[in-house]
Amino acid sequence: MSSEPLLRVENLKTQFFTETGTVRAVDGISFEVREGEIVGLVGESGAGKSVASMSLLRLVENPGEIVAGEITYKGETIFGLEEGPDGELQERDDMLSNEEIRTRIRGNEIAVIFQDPMESLNPVFTVGGQLREFIELNRGLSKDEAKTEAIDMLREVGIPDPEERYEEYPHQFSGGMRQRVLIAMALACEPSLIIADEPTTALDVTVEGQILDLVDDLQDKYGTSFIWVTHDMGVVAEICDRVNVMYLGEIVEQAPVDELFYDTKHPYTNALLNSIPRPDRTVTELEAIEGVMPEAINPPSGCRFHPRCPDAREVCKRVHPEAKTVADADGEAHRAACVKHDAFDAGYEDSSMLEGAVGSTEREPESELAVNPAGDDSGGEGRE
Ligand SMILES: Nc1ncnc2c1ncn2[C@@H]1O[C@H](COP(=O)(O)OP(=O)(O)OP(=O)(O)O)[C@@H](O)[C@H]1O
Ligand code: NI
């Protein structure tokens, strides 16, 4: 556990410079991925999950830019800044060049799987042909060797009759089967890390379950690390070892998966958890999280979640909490960015309640609470 993680991200900030203002899409996140683990990046739409993922491979395009932070992979600097002679920030000397990222890192070391396979697969070429070509180019195999390897990979990811399916076109594959092809492609160069950006979101629940099982098996077999991007806590529960919860560009909670579920420290995580069915709770109906996530151009003052938070007090409007260790999970830090925890010493207990922070519109605030007001400590009591 003391060894250097595979990937280390420190204080990463990625912004988009648009006509309407600066979008602080990723606003100072830090996390790491260790060898052989599946790390979740979870949050609602717009939280900054995809921009964070793209930043890791320096794939962010204009008007977007990584403006701060450090990304280290296997001891090499994917991104890093230093102060230049004139005091301006400049890219560090040891930062990998675009060429090195493209040829040495992308695909071979870190592969990406996106949500929509049709964007990654060319409709006019056969599935097998594309996989073969990819393997040929990236692994320097002959055409025949690459074809054999491609068919093996299709079999490996659970495509039935891989020899026949090899000759077919993407549109002849179901959504789930196409996603399996992308997994095959990602695995083809035996990368150490795969970034999967909501690859199962468009699939129905049964197929999604099958793909998650497959990933679990392959992860065991190859020891590949994953960053799994999702908005679905159910998916997190199924495959992640450790989890980062993102809200408006920030990581608000970070913990091993069991800790996150059973000793939840951030009200936003709680709200996300309440929006999915849980086997250990009697929930009569699924609850959506109250309100919509504000814009990343002009985030709320203090804690960015405070306008939607059932626990918000006056102090939450003023103090912007940086994530801190709030509990110890068998030697692992459980971090959260919420001043209600003692570690913050922000005067939460003495701070006055915020009037109408949650559900300040139409109905009674009480009936609008998205999060169990009793908190989680009451155990599996269920609620009305
Ligand atoms: N090209 C762009 N130009 C301007 N803003 C952008 C651009 N791409 C992303 N953003 C903004 O960055 C923020 C984070 O977006 P991102 O796509 O990372 O969210 P996400 O968590 O992946 O959401 P989703 O679950 O919908 O995929 C959003 O506010 C989004 O509008
Ligand atoms: Ni996304």
Residues 159-170 have pLDDT tens digits of 999 999 999 999
Query: For residue 47, which atom of ligand 1 is closest to its CA?
Result: 21
Q: What is the residue with the minimal CA distance to atom 2 of ligand 1?
A: 16
Span from the CA of 71 to the centroid of ligand 2 (angstroms): 20
pLDDT for 5? 96
Q: Which of 50, 57, 116, 198 to mutate to test the pocket of ligand 1 (most atoms within 8 A of CB)?
A: 50
pLDDT for 289? 66
Span from the CA of 355 to the centroid of ligand 1 (angstroms): 31
Report whether pLDDT(212) > 70. yes
Q: How far is CA 144 from the centre of its chain?
A: 37
- pTM, 2 dp: 0.88
Q: What is the residue with the minimal CA distance to atom 17 of ligand 1?
A: 50
Q: In what order do the strands lie in the sheet with 324-329?
A: 110-113, 193-197, 225-230, 38-42, 242-247, 250-256, 332-336, 324-329
Span from the CA of 48 to the centroid of ligand 2 (angstroms): 7
Q: What is the residue with the minimal CA distance to atom 5 of ligand 1?
A: 16
Span from the CA of 262 to the centroid of ligand 1 (angstroms): 30
Indicate the pLDDT class of residue 351, thresholds 50, 70 and 90: very high
Longest dimension (CA), the chain: 72
pLDDT for 296? 82
Q: Which of 24, 49, 51 to mutate to test the pocket of ligand 1 (most atoms within 8 A of CB)?
A: 51
Q: What is the residue with the minimal CA distance to atom 18 of ligand 1?
A: 48
Please give the residue that has the higher pLDDT: either 291 or 353: 353
pLDDT for 292? 66
Query: For residue 61, which atom of ligand 1 is closest to its CA?
Result: 1
Q: What is the mean pLDDT of residues 349-371?
A: 56
Give residue-wise pLDDT tens across range 365-381. 343 334 443 444 444 33
Q: What is the mean pLDDT of residues 136-158?
A: 93
Span from the CA of 221 to the centroid of ligand 1 (angstroms): 34
pLDDT for 235? 94
Query: For residue 46, which atom of ligand 1 is closest to its CA?
Result: 19
The answer to whether 23 and 296 are in contact (CB under 8 A) is: yes
Name the least confident of 17-21, 36-40, 271-275, 354-358: 354-358
List ligand 1's pocket residues with C-beta within 6 A: 16, 18, 23, 25, 43, 45-51, 64, 231, 296
Report whether pLDDT(53) > 50. yes
pLDDT for 46? 92
Complex ipTM? 0.99
Indicate the pLDDT class of residue 361, thresholds 50, 70 and 90: very low
Report the distance separating Cα 369 and Cα 18, nearest Å: 35
The answer to whether 64 and 52 are in contact (CB under 8 A) is: no
Q: What is the residue with the minimal CA distance to atom 6 of ligand 1?
A: 16
H or E element that contains 79: strand 76-79
Q: Chain-wide mean pLDDT for the chain?
A: 88
Q: What is the mean pLDDT of residues 15-30?
A: 95
The set of long-range contacts for 208-215, using a CB threshold of 8 Å and a minimum separation of 24, is: 208/235, 209/238, 210/158, 210/176, 211/176, 211/179, 211/180, 211/183, 212/238, 212/239, 214/157, 214/158, 214/180, 214/183, 215/38, 215/183, 215/239
Report whether pLDDT(79) > 60. yes
